[in-house]
Structure 1
Amino acid sequence: MMMIKGSMKLMDNTSTPAADMRWTLADLLSSYRFWALYLATLFATIGVQILNLSLPLISSSLGASYQEIGIFSLGSNIGLILGAFTAFSVAGRSPRASLMIPLIVAAAVALAFLLVPGLWTSPLLLFAMGATIGTVHTLFPLATATFLVGARPSKIDFGCALALLSMTSLSTTAASFMPVYQNDRSGETVIFALLACLVLAAIVLAPVRDLDFSKAPRPRHKAFAPRRRSPLLIAIIYILPIIALLRLLFIAASGQGEALESPSYGPFGSVASLAIFLVAMLIYLAYWVYRIHGELAGVAASQRLLTPFSAMCIAILIPLGLPVILMTLADFINDRARENGTKPLISIPVVVTLSLIFPPLAIALVQYGANKSYGIKIIEPSQISGQAM
């Protein structure tokens, strides 16, 4: 009987690491592989969109018929199927190869078009171009979602990670304004742009050996001493640039745009004051995001918290980065309060809504919750087990 109990205990111990190997959103956003997938998807999407927007015009100017252009569309549709098949069937077994090989093949086909301009009217090469580009376009977002599932995040963390990755679709709109194809009828500039995007995608992926998040995340923390700040003062700091912007819009709408630089309009009535307020706001936002992550970690370290530097970069540079960070901070503060026998300090729906329509108030609300959480006595797991005994 003792042997059976011992073997059962050994089985429990061996299964513990696998059960604990969950990636939080902070783990994902603090890893290079996540941002490598983000940037690779972004570059691939931009390159594909530039080609799709310009190919009909270039092919027509080089003498291609509508039937030949239709062959490219056929190849692109088949590529969508190939990309989905690769993402769901191959990416799980060979994550790195499943992304790098389609990039290399697409770059080789694009290089052939660059070296031999007459291929713009070749049905076979147009089909190959469509198939490879369609594969790349579908493969990256689907494969990235597959890799994220392997990280076993919570539903909220998975949704937030996908929301950030979905911002790569904004490149579709950005690519439509790029002038690389508007005055180019030979197609060389477009192919150069496509090749550059494919090469950049391969470069950011090259240093990553494990793309599937199969290994446990590394511990990482940078703790600061907690500091309470006035939520009202924080809100005022972020509202000042909005006041300056509204003032400028009012002056312009009243037909007095030529007098924007007049001293009579005060500190909120000039373009220079608006620029100063915006720069000051961004600097303080970076400082606040950096400090609050370190200060919350200073109370009690947690894998759910981003490193201060990662959080600062995401809030400033990534679309939807600030709302995601504010929501995760509010959720973390509430969970810490629940774990220590206190009711939730912040309303998550209110934070999410305010972060999208009026971020200054959402930031002030998170600071209010952080101030309250600093006064909560943290109960360690060992204390809980001791009380239970």
Structure 2
Amino acid sequence: MVNEEQISPMENTSAPSSNAEWTLADFLSTYRYWAVFLSSLLIAVGGQGLSTVFPVIAQMTGSSAQTIGIFYFGSTLGWVVGAFLAFIVAARHGRSALISPILVCAVVAVAVLPAPNLWGSPSFLLFFGLVLGAVRAVFPLASAIFLVGGRPGKIDFGCALTLMSTTILISAFAPVGASWLYELDLGAVPVVSAFLGCLLLAVILLVPAGNLAFDDAPRPRHKPLAPRQRSPLLVAVILITPPILILLAAIGFRLFQANDVGVGDSPIALLSVLLVFAIALAAFIYLAYWVYRIHGELAGAAPSQRLLTPLAAVLIAILVPLGLPVLLMTLGDLLNERACDRGEGNAVSIAWLGIWSFILPPVAIAMIQNAANDSYVIGADKAS
């Protein structure tokens, strides 16, 4: 039920039905979050790819520069339609707000395949751009509204939205694939077909998601492990060694090339490459192990809805762009929260943690491990 004390219409449309506050871990533990994430990625990739090769396709059908500009003008106007769907429709009917424009866009794109002359029609291009712009706009705006419905804290909301926004960054690689598809037969069919495939997969992901708003209570979950202290310096050294070795190896390769010597021609160089690869692989495995253990150990010290299960944390840290920095930020915020509950100051500086998380993650990992060690000691003292 919506709280009658809320007087803002926007708040009335997005107020959750429970008082539970969702954490980043709660978001990342649901299918609906990843359904929106992956469908948003597909839409961003498909839309960016199509928009990139569109001028070339349109020129082959005899369209002028002014006609091509109509498509991009319509795409800009589409953001207005997308904003309307996000703020008015998505607040109550989230799944419909996302799927409806996708289906309309798919129908319009299908019309191009049997009638390529439509690429030269200004009215069609305006409408196509309008629909495509609406689809690309509704996802990031609606995603923010879905997340707000769970009443997350500032850091949890920011991290969840940051992960979602990485779909836009990944779509920067779409033009490469779209250009390759265009060169297959120098026509629009492969590109439009790939675009339609992205739309279809996005709908398939969204249909089982049900209610996309996070207006219910999050599911409890805990996978505790026995806390164990580690040397922060040793952890940082293990994880920072591979990048240094890779840099040194790259310098060595340049020196070999300058002397017209191939890496395969020198047994020492070949062994060095294999050694660097083995060390890098070992450090990667250790990173996964550390992420797994730290989440389980912090849950073992004190259960918290802010903690992911260890396995989920490993998958996100490895597979999701910016996943590791986001996880480190949430762990730092959790450790600070526990320190404040004990009447102490912050266990770790969030500002410096954020800087090192993006510049040199091993340093941020060492900061987390050091703060975790201190929390284990204090927790053990209190228990005794």
One fold, TM greater than 0.5?
Answer: yes
CA distance in 1, matches of 2:122, 2:40: 28
CA distance in 2, matches of 1:341, 1:111: 63
User: Is the aligned partner of 1:274 residue 2:273?
Assistant: no
C-alpha distance in 2, partners of 1:19/1:68? Answer: 51
User: Does the CA contact (< 8 Å) of 1:296 and 1:370 recur in 2?
Assistant: yes
Q: Aligned residue for 1:288?
A: 290
Which residue of 2 is the match for residue 12 of structure 1?
Answer: none
* Deviation of the 1:263 alpha carbon: 4.1
1:20/1:227 Cα in 2 relative to 1: closer, same or farther (>3 Å)?
Answer: same
Provide the residue aligned with 2:372 in structure 1. Answer: 370
Q: CA deviation at 1:303?
A: 0.5
**Residue equivalent to 1:64:** 63
* Partner Cα distance (1:68, 1:184) in 2: 24
Determine the structure 2 residue equivalent to 1:203: 204
Q: Report if aligned partners of 2:58, 2:119 keep a CA contact under 8 Å in 1.
A: yes
Give the whole-Å Cα distance in 2 for the aligned partners of 1:257 and 1:307. 51
Change (3 A) 1:115 1:278: farther
- Counterpart for residue 81 of structure 2: 82
Partner deviation per Cα, 1:105-156 (whole Å, 9 max, x = no partner): 1111111112333322233332232111111011111111111111111111
Give the 5 Å matches for 1:1-389.
20-178=19-177, 179-182=180-183, 184-254=185-255, 255-256=258-259, 258-261=261-264, 262-264=266-268, 269-270=272-273, 272-377=274-379
After TM superposition, the score normalised by the length of structure 2 is 0.88
Taking a change above 3 Å as real, the CA distance of residues 278 and 148 of structure 1, as seen in their structure-2 partners, is same
Moved over 6 A (4+): none
SS in 2 for 1:344: coil
Per-residue deviation at 1:257? 7.4
Aligned partner of 2:261: which letter?
E
Q: Structure 2: how far apart are the matches of 1:256 and 1:296?
A: 53
Which residue of structure 2 aligns with residue 3 of structure 1? Answer: none
Q: Distance in 1 between matches of 2:206 and 2:17?
A: 26
Counterpart code for 2:44: T
Cα distance between partner residues in 2 of 1:264 and 1:46: 43
State the SS of the aligned residue for 2:113.
Answer: helix
Q: Is the contact between residue 61 and residue 185 of structure 1 (CA under 8 Å) also seen in structure 2?
A: no
Report the count of equivalent residues: 363
Return the alpha-carbon distance in structure 2 between the equivalents of residues 78 and 184 of structure 1.
32
Shift of 1:198: 0.8
Could you tell me how far apart the structure 1 residues matched to 2:254 and 2:219 are?
54
Q: For 2:185 and 2:63, how far apart are their aligned partners in 1? A: 16
Question: For structure 1, which segment, 127-136 or 256-265, has the greater mean C-alpha deviation from structure 2 after superposition?
Answer: 256-265
Residues 292 and 56 of structure 1: is their aligned pair in 2 closer, same or farther, counting only changes over 3 Å?
same
Q: Larger radius of gyration, structure 1 or 2?
A: 1
In 2, Cα distance between equivalents of 1:33 and 1:257: 55
Would the aligned equivalents of 1:340 and 1:376 in 2 still touch at CA under 8 Å? no
Task: Show structure 2 runs of 5+ residues with no match.
Answer: 1-15
Percent of aligned pairs sharing the same letter = 48
Distance 2:66 2:262 in 1: 58
User: What is the CA distance between 1:347 and its match in structure 2?
Assistant: 2.2
Shift of 1:379: 11
SS at match of 1:377: helix
Give unpaired runs (5+ residues) of structure 1.
Answer: 1-16, 384-389
1:332 maps to amino acid: L
Taking a change above 3 Å as real, the CA distance of residues 354 and 70 of structure 1, as seen in their structure-2 partners, is closer
Shift of 1:82: 0.7
Kept in 2, the 8 Å contact 1:37–1:205? The answer is yes
The 10-residue stretch of structure 1 (276-285 or 196-205) with the greater mean CA deviation from structure 2:
276-285
Asked whether the equivalents of residues 300 and 378 of structure 1 are also in contact (C-alpha less than 8 Å), the reply is no
SS at match of 1:20: coil
AA aligned to 1:186 is G
- Contact persistence 1:160–1:324 (CA under 8 A): yes
Map Cα deviations across residues 159-210 of structure 1 (whole Å, 9 max, x no partner).
1112112211113321122222245432001101110111121111111111
SS of the aligned residue for 1:177 comes to helix
Output the TM-score relative to the length of structure 1. 0.87
| Contact 1:244–1:273 (CA under 8 A) maintained in structure 2 | no
